[in-house]
Structure 1
């Protein structure tokens, strides 16, 4: 009887504790509890009567919190690299990651193998998210490292202290414009975007499949109503646009 009551309660409106990565602006702007990705997830849940309660932390910690039962869901996840016990939503957001270099360095990077021997600063879990070929290169490179605080990436690149940054173009552009970065280095230097990676599709990982199903229904409603496109349009001025 108790088990039935618990299961029935899942389908009802509830607060949903959601683990969200840091350093994902403008997809997620933690200081303002908003962002393109944040708004999409929040409204998809709201359309099914649920309230999203955000909890921020490093990307590498999100799935551990979910697996430990410390949170109900985690944003920005991939089925291929996540925990098997989770229930994954439909794709709700797509990132575009690039290898980013200073144009003044004139580095030739046309394929993953061209990253060999270069110092690389990537976002946290990049070696996991970006596929086995990239992971093999990262594992073999003693100068490869990942950083949970992506504000460090433009600082290091524009100071010419690193050869290559691996990041989503919009996230890199966002942090490049922050006063904390522009006060330290010349962020007007031209950069090159090397399109080594296909677009990365992300899902929400849930502990409860019923809640996952509710999110998918809400996401479908969001798309059908046109509100999904309106959210994207609202954040378009903050986005760097597509690279060549």
Structure 2
């Protein structure tokens, strides 16, 4: 299954662990399947699926994989993406026009996920997509970019990492909620309809048993 490179606390590539990997692995185990993660930059995940390099993908990164033999499963992990700015800049983000003249750094494929917000910055070369989300936090802190678009938990994880491992104090930030979360944006894709169904069954059992929440709590708390 194609996963992104490191996205702590959801994906720890070095250990084949993390919230998302643990949940998907546990759900597949219910029907006897074994997860083998393969790691790609975010933007290459759908390409890996299209080119038959993997049997499944953690998501489609905004590209419909149905024409390429994809069967969409139920949502697994929901990323709570927000714009993040340095508090001292006192930015207000209420609509796409508020991004005019601002530079934005985010995960690869964000411009496909949020075209209403990011099409113009992308076309004007004010948007930069990068897989390394630790670098996103560093560049915001250094004021190289005005905004980071990131999941709240991911950003906070790397703020802590900078503080405790590199002794770097990140400036205070503001979070700007800009879009309603659509769970359909976060569906794993399988090449086999049967395995998709088996996964959905296992995911339902995880939620009923409390194991789903226990995995989250293990990493977040």
The question of a shared fold, defined as TM-score above 0.5 by the shorter chain, is answered with yes
Task: State the partner residue of 1:82.
Answer: 64
Distance 1:108 1:93 in 2: 28
1:198 aligns with 2:173: no
Distance 2:103 2:165 in 1: 23
Q: Larger % of strand: which?
A: 1
Distance 1:122 1:135 in 2: 10
Distance 1:175 1:133 in 2: 28
CA offset digits 1:15-49 (Å, max 9, x no partner): xxx11001321011112221111111000001110
Q: 1:182: how far off?
A: 6.2
Q: 1:119: how far off?
A: 0.8
Structure 2, unaligned runs of 5 or more: none
1:234 aligns with 2:215: no
Q: 1:136: how far off?
A: 2.5
Structure 1, unaligned runs of 5 or more: 1-17, 238-244
CA contact (8 A) 1:155 1:185 kept: no
Task: State the partner residue of 2:86.
Answer: 102
CA offset digits 1:54-86 (Å, max 9, x no partner): 1111111111111111111111336x6332221
Distance 2:92 2:209 in 1: 45
Distance 1:182 1:105 in 2: 27
Q: 1:178: how far off?
A: 2.2
Q: 1:200: how far off?
A: 4.5
CA contact (8 A) 1:97 1:200 kept: no
CA contact (8 A) 2:162 2:168 kept: no
CA offset digits 1:120-144 (Å, max 9, x no partner): 11111111122x3124233343221
Distance 1:67 1:210 in 2: 19
- Return closer, same or farther for 1:184/1:129 CA change in 2, 3 Å cut-off: farther
Distance 1:179 1:142 in 2: 28
Distance 2:147 2:192 in 1: 39
1:35 aligns with 2:25: no
Structure of larger gyration radius? 1
TM-score (structure 1 length as normaliser):
0.82
Q: 1:180: how far off?
A: 9.1
1:128 aligns with 2:76: no
Task: State the partner residue of 2:103.
Answer: 119
- What is the aligned counterpart of 2:151 among 164, 168, 175? 168
Tell me the number of residue pairs that the alignment of Structure 1 and Structure 2 aligns. 217
Distance 1:74 1:87 in 2: 10
Distance 2:151 2:124 in 1: 21
What is the DSSP-based 3-state SS (H/G/I as helix, E as strand, rest coil) of the residue aligned with 1:165? strand
Kindly report the root-mean-square deviation, in angstroms, between the aligned alpha carbons of the 2 structures.
Answer: 1.9
